[in-house]
Amino acid sequence: MNGTAHTAIGAATGFIAANTFQSSPTETMILVGLGAVSGLMPDLDIDGKLRGKITLSHKVIRLTALFIGMLMVFYSFYEGRAVDKWLGIGIGLAIIIVSSLIKQKHMLTITGIGVLAGGISLSEIWLILLGVYIVIASISSHRSYTHSILGIIFFGFIASKLEGSLGIHGVYYACLGGYISHLIADLKILPFNKRGIKLFLPVSKIEL
Ligand SMILES: [Zn+2]
């Protein structure tokens, strides 16, 4: 199934969540948007179109990563205390080194590291975990871990932390529902899917 269809189904799931929680019009828009984004998330393991959409051009990403890395080093050096200080400097240096090595195919990984660094500096757990998710997705083979129960649990945990940060009821269900809708739409029993998903990784490689 293509990205447009996944987005539409995810958005519909967000809308159902909004109705269930009798959300205000603004909250409804947020939940529909989150459902749509969540419906796309599992396919961050695809090479091609979707990666091109969320990542900026090669040079911009490299410069941004370099800048974030240097900022992390300086900030940690002047503001950090004890362990935090060295952790921050270490992460900053790692970002600088990695960003100078990036090639086209590593762009999504770099984006993930950027999100991770942003989450650390903002002290937002959901953003940190989302960064980790993007990094893992970028190095996973297609329709593997992001399309498994393990992926659902990990993303569900991110969603629950996001709901806590935003303080909006229904965020958890909109995100989780959008994510699960993607996996259902990718099942092999549906006539338009040539391949299924390995739902039980790493326990079983059976394709559903
Ligand atoms: Zn998929």
Average the pLDDT over 95-107 and give the result: 73
Residues 6+ apart with CB under 8 A from 193: 1, 186, 187
pLDDT of residue 60 exceeding 80: no
CA of 47 from ligand 1 middle (Å) equals: 12
Residue whose structure tokens are 């809308």? 15
Helices and strands (H, E) in the chain, number of each type: 9, 0
Name which of 59-68, 74-83, 140-149 the model is least confident about: 59-68
Q: Please give the distance, rounded to the nearest whole angstrom, from the Cα atom of residue 24 to the centre of ligand 1.
A: 31
Q: Is the pLDDT assigned to residue 51 strictly greater than 80?
A: no
**182 CA to centre of ligand 1 in angstroms:** 6
Q: Compute, in angstroms, the gap from residue 147 CA to the centroid of ligand 1.
A: 7
Ligand 1 centre and the CA of 42: distance in Å?
A: 6
| Cα–ligand 1 centroid distance for 143 (angstroms) | 6
Question: Which amino acid is located at 24 in the chain?
Answer: S
> What is the predicted pLDDT for the residue at 57?
60
**Model pLDDT for residues 166-179, shown as the tens digit of each residue:** 999 999 999 999 99
- Tens-place pLDDT, residues 65-79: 788 788 888 878 887
165: CA distance to ligand 1 center in Å?
28
The candidate with the shortest Cα–Cα distance to 120, out of 108, 110, 133, 131, is 131
Contacts of 141 (CB under 8 A, 6+ apart): 45
Highest mean pLDDT pick, 112-121, 172-181, 188-197? 172-181
For residues 122, 125, 130, 131, the Cα torsion angle rounded to the nearest 10 degrees is 50
pLDDT higher than 60, residue 52: no
Q: Which is more confident, 19 or 194?
A: 19
Nearest-angstrom CA–CA distance, 179 and 152: 7
81 — pLDDT class (breaks 50, 70, 90)? confident
CA atoms of 171 and 32, how far apart (whole Å): 9
156-160 LR contacts (CB < 8 Å, sep 24+): 157/129, 158/126, 158/129, 158/130, 158/133, 159/38, 159/126
Expressed in angstroms and rounded, the spacing between residue 193 Cα and the centre of ligand 1 is 10
For residue 177, how far is its CA from the centre of ligand 1 (angstroms)? 15
Q: How far is the CA of 186 from the centre of ligand 1 (A)?
A: 6
Distance separating alpha carbons of residues 132 and 158, to the nearest angstrom: 10
Going from the Cα of 201 to the center of ligand 1, the distance in angstroms, rounded, reads 15
- Please tell me the distance from the alpha carbon of residue 41 to that of residue 44, in angstroms, as a whole number: 6
